[in-house]
Structure 1
Amino acid sequence: MADEGRLYVALYARGGRPRMATKEDKFHWAFITGPDYESPETRATRHHVTHGVEMIDGTPLMMWKYCEQDIPTGWTGQLLVRVLIGEVKSMERVTFVFHNTPLKHDTEGWNCVKWVEEAFMTITQDDKALGEAVTDWDDIRNKAMEYVDEKIKSGRFELCRDFENDDVPTWDMVSNKELST
């Protein structure tokens, strides 16, 4: 069966102070599904959860919400790095898992990092969702944090840079190499 694209873990800039001991929540975590080959015109989909006010029976409550957004495959402003973690075998299955990963509104400390981890654990157990892929969450989390830290220390995100034509820094965990700096 031919693959239907690629699956990335993506780290975005976010405000606020991290609360997690290992500081993963210094960034907003998401998945990106995109094509095998990218050009300035190609599009991808960002899959993530956001935390905001929802009106429930006339009462404002802080709730988690799953979001899918059409995005360009290039630099988008807040996107810091992508880590390629696998080939998508069935986009339908991948999307199904994302839509059905529970949102834990009342769980203290639950956040976008936890949602990405939980969705990842489910998706790697679904033999119809991914083709060749990295299946160890700790390896992915550690590489994403190491990679974004490396880019920050190198000055990749300094304000004086012209980002308009930049590619997104991308590490391929399947092949263990950098695809774009």
Structure 2
Amino acid sequence: MVGNKNRLYIALYPSGVVGNEERKYHWGFLIGPKDESYPPVAGTRYHVKHHPLGGWIYEEADLRNVQATNNLLARIVIAKIADEDRLINILRRNPVVNGDPEWRCRSWVAQALATIAEDGRSVGTAQLDWGKIERVARKYVRSKTESGRYAVIGDPKQPKPTYDMLEGKEAIS
């Protein structure tokens, strides 16, 4: 769909890896509407996940509420979508690598961002620099952790913390 009002987010989930800061999070993309004033807010998750028997696989899943998916730690707004169909095709065609022990979801996200940037037509206003996104996302989740945001399991339907890199401010605490 060309000319929609959707946003592209980076999503951070706990990876289950302990003692390795680089592998602490599972990374993916979320697409959801700009106007989130009428929850639940439907959206879609795009990511790769590792199955012990099958290796890395691409997955996209429709979400009833893109603000509060299972285990979601935080969302980072990184782009206004200009052509959603084009963007989704980029994500679907982004290579999934098996057989390389250093390749993981983080690698897939970084490559997708580079391809989106090279494409130049799927998103409008955007922050697509993986290094910058990763630094901001890690710092944001660390600050939420230190403030106790994840210490108590609250209502899973409540929106998770969201930082807007386009505006340089927190959108949902």
Partner amino acid, structure 2, of 1:12: Y
Task: Give the total of aligned pairs.
Answer: 170
Q: Over alpha carbons, which structure has the higher Rg?
A: 1
Decide whether the 8 Å contact of 1:24 with 1:145 is kept in 2: no
> 1:142: Cα distance to partner?
0.3
Partner amino acid, structure 1, of 2:70: G
Q: TM-score, length-normalised on structure 1?
A: 0.87
Partner amino acid, structure 1, of 2:116: I
Decide whether the 8 Å contact of 2:77 with 2:163 is kept in 1: yes
Q: Distance in 2 between matches of 1:37 and 1:4?
A: 8
Query: RMSD of the alignment, in Å?
Result: 1.6
Deviation >4 Å, runs of 4+: none
Q: 142, 165, 169: which is aligned to 1:173?
A: 165
Q: TM-score, length-normalised on structure 2?
A: 0.91
1:41 counterpart = 2:33: no
Q: Distance in 1 between matches of 2:102 and 2:81?
A: 30
1:126 counterpart = 2:119: yes
Partner amino acid, structure 1, of 2:48: V
Q: 132, 137, 148: which is aligned to 2:130?
A: 137
User: For 1:123, what is the secondary structure of its paired residue?
Assistant: helix
User: For 2:73, what is the secondary structure of its paired residue?
Assistant: strand
Deviations 1:117-167 (CA, angstroms, capped at 9, x unpaired): 1111101111211000013211101000000100011100113x4224522
Q: Distance in 1 between matches of 2:58 and 2:157?
A: 30
User: Unaligned regions of 5+ residues in structure 2, if any?
Assistant: none
In structure 2, relative to structure 1, the CA distance for the partners of 1:18 and 1:89 (3 Å cut) is farther
Q: Distance in 1 between matches of 2:114 and 2:46?
A: 15
Q: Distance in 1 between matches of 2:4 and 2:124?
A: 7
User: Unaligned regions of 5+ residues in structure 1, if any?
Assistant: 54-60
More strand by share: 1
